[in-house]
Amino acid sequence: MGVKAPYQPKDEIFTFLRPAIAVDVVLLSIIRNNLQVALIQRQDEPYYGKFALPGRFVRYDEPIETTAKKAIEGKGNIKTDNIYLEQLHTFGQDLVRDTRIRTISTVYYGFIDPDTINSQPDNTFTWFKTDNLPPLGFDHKKIIKSSIERVRRRMFTTDVIFNLIPKEFTLTEFQHACETFFGEELDKRNFRKKINELYTLKDLKRTKMTGAHRPAKLYTYVKMK
């Protein structure tokens, strides 16, 4: 072994055709107690007219997280400042998933709270319940499923859940969001005990009235150092 010969450029990378790389984003929110995902109706082939995840090809001089943000900024008119984005997986096994060109897709998932969505007038996204998706282009149904599985596993080890719910919330609303997310009912007392250990919630000293019963206190999440 060892490196003895002087360097001679080979630059094999310039000698063969390169695949394209794209970023697709699984943007999730909890809307009316349903876990929903933002889809757009495609204006181009392939899968013209079908719904699909918002995506964008990575430009030569564009960091991939920028690509991810632009994929949703351009299409949904949503400010990405308030969106939590995390890389999920890179799908690159299927050589013909895009008929135009061999494409490798890096998928990000993101969370947006439903209040932020509604305040955007010029929204080209269509939101679908994740358990009742329309026929989708590409392999996007599979991708959405694995995003949700992954996110469920990570949910209680991080504080990402607070990106999915409004800034101000009652404990019952928060519990319902968690139940929606995990797909199972939770015990009220155990739930409150648990979040009291895990997170620091600020009591806003205000209440929310939703019917002929005792009003609920409003809280907000305070990020710990």
Which residue of 34, 116, 120, 124 would you call a contact of its own copies, by CB under 8 A?
124
- Give the count of beta carbons closer than 10 Å to the beta carbon of residue 2: 4
Sketch the per residue contact string, 12 through 31, with its own copies: x for CB under 8 A, - otherwise. Answer: xxx-xxxxxx----------
Q: Which residue carries 């010969």 as its tokens? A: 5
Decide: is 179 part of the binding site for its own copies (CB under 8 A): no
One residue of 1, 3, 212, 224 binding DNA per CB under 7 A:
212
Is there a contact between 173 and 194 (Cβ–Cβ < 8 Å)? no
Q: Does 188 bind DNA (CB under 7 A)?
A: yes
* Per-residue binder mask for DNA (CB under 7 A), 152-171, x = binder: ------------------xx
Rank residues 79 and 192 by Cβ distance to DNA and give the closer one: 192
Residue from 31, 34, 52, 64 touching its own copies (CB under 8 A): that is 64
Q: Is 155 within 8 Å of 181 (Cβ atoms)?
A: yes
Give SS3 for 94.
Answer: coil
Cβ neighbours for 74, distance < 8 A, ≥ 6 positions apart = 56
| Residue 123 tokens, joined | 């929204």
Provide the token pair at 43.
């204006």
Positions touching DNA (CB under 7 A) are 170-172, 187-190, 192-194, 197, 207, 209-217
